[in-house]
């Protein structure tokens, strides 16, 4: 159980928020009047009061809202909670959607202290049920009713697609297939064939959003800029080669060119990453191979499945 220490808002982005003591939380939006509210996954930001206190012991002298956080809560180590955690505060129900954030430019706190806790300790949530939260309110973790849907992202790697010279058909086809299978596709990204950008996207989606599945399409061949497998392997914490091997084996019955695929399948943290080829048809054929099997794998990664034995 935690206790709300501050409710902070600002009327524009890029500035510190002010403690307004109370705020109304709108479904799928955030706090009424707050600049960071909107129809996205980072509607509300939360930070542990204990983390702020520890930072102030180093001489930071910061007050609630200084990091741009909406809610300061005592009694929770938000960083230790998994994405998908439900937080109840009176009538308001929040669902954690991201842990940490990218720091694109150093804030005044960082310039003063050489450090900032928000990028690693702050978490973000979306509003599932509306209501008002005020200073002094209690916050609890609410058990989830039913199974949380699988969450996925789709990344297309294409130089021409990124330049607008070619329509991305593979990405939308993969998204459609996933959604028809009950997945929640939270991001669809189109990137040039650049390993640095792909690695950054994979790390963010795995570590901050903690997705169950990431499917990439394109960049798996022999071309000089086909570097998707290398970028994927560089972010992996564990190997899962059997999926890529099964795709190649099944594809060999369709075309001998399947032996030229260099696609990889790996794990980072609790996220399964699978490289798919670049054509929509080949993507669908590849997904035919693993769609019935990977829910078991993702359940193991979530910790929801313990027994691997066949019945």
C-beta separation of 227 from 239 below 8 A: no
- The pLDDT value recorded for residue 102 is 75
Give exposure, 92-117, as e/b (b: 16+ Cβ within 10 Å). Answer: bbbbbbbbbbeeeeebebeeebeebb
For residue 66, give the nearest of 8, 125, 3 by alpha carbon.
Answer: 8
Q: Determine the pLDDT at residue 307.
A: 63
Contact 119, 106 (CB under 8 A): no
Pairing relationship of beta strands 18-19 and 213-217 according to DSSP bridges: unpaired
Q: What is the pLDDT of residue 159?
A: 96
The residues of the chain scoring below 70 in pLDDT are 103-115, 306-311
Please tell me the predicted confidence (pLDDT) of residue 155. 98
Q: Residues 196-237: pLDDT tens digits?
A: 999 999 999 999 999 999 999 999 999 999 999 999 999 999
* Contact (Cβ atoms closer than 8 angstroms) between residue 100 and residue 51: no
């Amino acid at each position: 159980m935690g206790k709300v220490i501050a409710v902070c808002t600002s009327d524009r982005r890029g500035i510190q928020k002010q403690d307004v003591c109370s705020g109304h939380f709108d479904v799928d939006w955030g706090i009424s009047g707050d600049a960071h509210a909107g129809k996205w996954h980072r509607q509300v930001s939360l930070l542990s009061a204990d983390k702020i206190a520890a930072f102030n012991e180093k001489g930071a002298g910061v007050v609630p809202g200084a990091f741009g956080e909406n809610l300061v809560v005592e009694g929770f180590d938000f960083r230790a909670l998994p994405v998908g955690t439900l937080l109840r505060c009176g009538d308001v129900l929040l669902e954690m959607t991201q842990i940490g954030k990218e720091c694109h430019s150093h804030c005044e706190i960082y310039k003063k202290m050489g450090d900032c806790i928000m990028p690693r300790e702050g978490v973000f949530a979306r509003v599932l049920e509306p209501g008002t939260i005020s200073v002094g309110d209690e916050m609890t973790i609410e058990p989830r009713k039913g199974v949380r849907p699988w969450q996925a992202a789709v990344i297309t790697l294409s130089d021409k697609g990124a330049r607008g010279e070619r329509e991305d058909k593979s990405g939308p086809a993969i998204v459609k297939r996933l959604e028809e299978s009950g997945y929640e596709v939270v991001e669809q990204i189109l990137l040039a064939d650049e390993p640095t950008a792909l690695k950054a996207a994979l790390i963010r989606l795995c570590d901050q959003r903690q997705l169950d599945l990431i499917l990439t399409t394109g960049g798996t061949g022999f071309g000089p800029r086909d570097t998707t497998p290398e970028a994927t392997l560089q972010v992996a914490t564990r190997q899962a080669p059997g999926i890529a091997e099964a795709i190649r084996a099944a594809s060999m019955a369709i075309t001998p060119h399947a032996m030229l695929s260099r696609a990889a399948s790996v794990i980072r943290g609790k996220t399964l990453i699978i490289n798919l080829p670049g054509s929509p048809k080949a993507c669908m054929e590849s997904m035919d191979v693993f769609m019935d099997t990977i829910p078991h794998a993702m359940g193991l990664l979530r910790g929801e499945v313990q027994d691997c034995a066949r019945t």
